[in-house]
């Protein structure tokens, strides 16, 4: 099964308030494993990036001034994701921005199925912290390279979290490879059956057993 794990960085919290995307990163996974195919773009939001947002993701106006606008990368992104399921953390936030940008540039909103790992985490661990950082710590996902948020970096972390949240790399009894072949030999070791061995009791052991049984009142062994 092909899925696209993605993340966005923005100038603020709501597109209705004039905020826009500044980074978009996506990772293709098939059979719950990254294939190596990614999509990553910095985007010129055609507006100033507030300092509060820069403190989160480190993206400045200078960094994206010569980058393409969303309209210029939209078709490439749509071709990358196809109609496969999308996986995001707090997916409503990312999908709101994506669909706003798509409609603003003459495209239809995304019909893809959407999987929200935030919702999965809250259902699986009620009352516990469910941020991406908290889930990385829970599942021992390495955060040492993450000093700032980044769309492709966070998507990479989310791949590992998503796999752990949904049962690991082998959620069922069977594993299917990328080309659909059953991996029936996965971690299977060949064994050799031993010949059965007999350990008959000796006459002395039989005599001691009979003497022990004789001491038991109404022993079932003596009943016909």
Give 68's DSSP letter.
P
Using alpha carbons only, give the angle 145, 150, 152 rounded to the nearest 5 degrees: 90
**Nearest by Cα to 110 from 119, 94, 93, 98:** 98
Token pair of 4 as six digits: 């696209």
Backbone angles phi, psi at 199, to 5 degrees: -130, 75
User: Catalytic residue among 19, 57, 89, 149, which?
Assistant: 149
CA 48, CA 50: separation in Å to the nearest integer? Answer: 6
89 carries an active-site annotation: no
Q: State the DSSP H helix or E strand holding residue 73, giving kind and residue range, or none if neither.
A: helix 70-81
CA 35, CA 156: separation in Å to the nearest integer? Answer: 12
- For residue 74, how many other CB atoms are within 10 A of its CB? 21
Q: Do the Cβ atoms of 26 and 35 come closer than 8 Å?
A: no
Q: Do the Cβ atoms of 175 and 186 come closer than 8 Å?
A: yes
Using alpha carbons only, give the angle 71, 76, 77 rounded to the nearest 5 degrees: 85
Q: Which residues are catalytic?
A: 149
């Amino acid at each position: 099964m092909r899925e696209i794990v993605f993340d966005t960085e923005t100038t603020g919290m709501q597109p209705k308030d004039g905020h826009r995307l500044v980074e978009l990163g996506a990772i293709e996974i098939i059979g719950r494993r990254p294939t190596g195919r990614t999509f990553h773009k910095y985007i010129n939001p055609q507006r100033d990036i507030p300092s509060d947002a820069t403190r989160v993701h480190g993206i400045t106006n200078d960094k994206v001034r010569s980058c393409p606008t969303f309209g210029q990368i939209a078709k490439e992104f749509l071709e990358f994701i196809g109609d496969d399921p999308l996986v995001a953390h707090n997916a409503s936030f990312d999908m709101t921005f994506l669909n706003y940008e798509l409609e603003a540039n003459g495209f239809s909103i995304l019909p893809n199925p959407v999987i929200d790992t935030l919702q999965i985490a809250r259902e699986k661990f009620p009352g516990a912290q469910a941020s991406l950082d908290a889930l990385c710590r829970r599942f021992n996902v390495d955060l040492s390279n993450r000093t700032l948020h980044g769309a492709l970096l966070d998507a990479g972390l989310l791949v590992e979290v998503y796999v752990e949240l949904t049962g690991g790399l082998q959620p069922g009894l069977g594993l299917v490879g990328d080309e659909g072949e059953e991996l029936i030999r996965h971690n299977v070791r060949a064994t050799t059956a031993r010949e059965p061995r007999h350990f008959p009791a000796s006459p002395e052991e039989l005599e001691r057993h009979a003497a022990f049984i004789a001491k038991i009142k109404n022993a079932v062994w003596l009943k016909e």
